[in-house]
Structure 1
């Protein structure tokens, strides 16, 4: 299971700088740098829990790891495609299919229980469940 420190370690290992400062209306963001690396900005005043921080960092890492970047002029469908790609990476990293199946076998059934088990937000966990269900990875 990937924890928050693992994500920060992965960012460092991959040369991704993570910065903390007030982002105004944004909670977090990532951007590619000219040297091929990536930078992530996180707003600590907009992170309500460690699970929230973990989910946001994983999502931004998903952008960096998959190269799923867009600019503010990109069409809505292009933006959504890249957001989906970042989410897919985060789902697989934080709630891997095999670990999800194992958690269910251990008796974790409710989304809130699974979210607590994986240390993610319930909204994120529901997104992961939907992702796996749409691909017939799990049966409801």
Structure 2
């Protein structure tokens, strides 16, 4: 069975993208130009590489041009769109419910279950709070983003 990083690599291949792990002169963790994605080779974990690759794919699908200058409003917006794409790819609401049903009860366990770094999980939760507010109804569940929790709705059977 493929891990998340390998699944993302399969996606890049199907889109004719080239991913290369390399040393960077800058502090960047990932970069994309045209159809080439670079991932910092010395990232400490495969989990972090997965989060960075997802964000770079987010850039591929949602951004255009050179957005390195983050003093420009349009570039900041494109960066946010790319990150939001990554959050929804790696931390979708149905996986939050699945984690709850599997017995996950805190953010540390949730990050492990979803195979994302804790910082990425926090940013994903903040993204959902911005998008939906404090909670969202999803099928038979209510997902609370502040404080984080998942609850099965009580169904009245009268």
Q: Structure 2 length normalisation: TM-score? A: 0.76
Which stretches in structure 1 are left out of the alignment for 5+ residues?
A: 33-37
1:130 aligned to 2:126?
A: yes
Higher strand share: 2
Q: Aligned partners of 1:20 and 1:125: how far apart in 2?
A: 23
Which structure 2 segments of 5+ residues have no match? Answer: 137-142, 147-158
Do the aligned partners of residues 49 and 74 (structure 1) sit closer, same or farther apart at CA in structure 2, a change above 3 Å counting? closer
Q: 1:79, CA displacement in angstroms?
A: 2.2
Q: TM-score, normalised by structure 1?
A: 0.85
**Matched residue pairs, number?**
134
Structure richer in helix, relative to its length:
1
Moved over 6 A (4+): none
Work out which of the two has the higher radius of gyration on C-alpha atoms and give 1 or 2: 2
Contact 2:67–2:79 under 8 Å retained in 1: no
What is the 5 A alignment of 1:1-140? 3-25=4-26, 26-32=28-34, 38-45=35-42, 47-73=43-69, 75-136=71-132, 137=136, 138-139=143-144, 140=146
Helix, strand or coil: the match of 1:19? Answer: strand
Bigger RCO of structures 1 and 2 (CA < 8 A, at least 6 apart): 1
Q: CA RMSD in A?
A: 2.0
Q: Distance in 1 between matches of 2:99 and 2:120?
A: 16
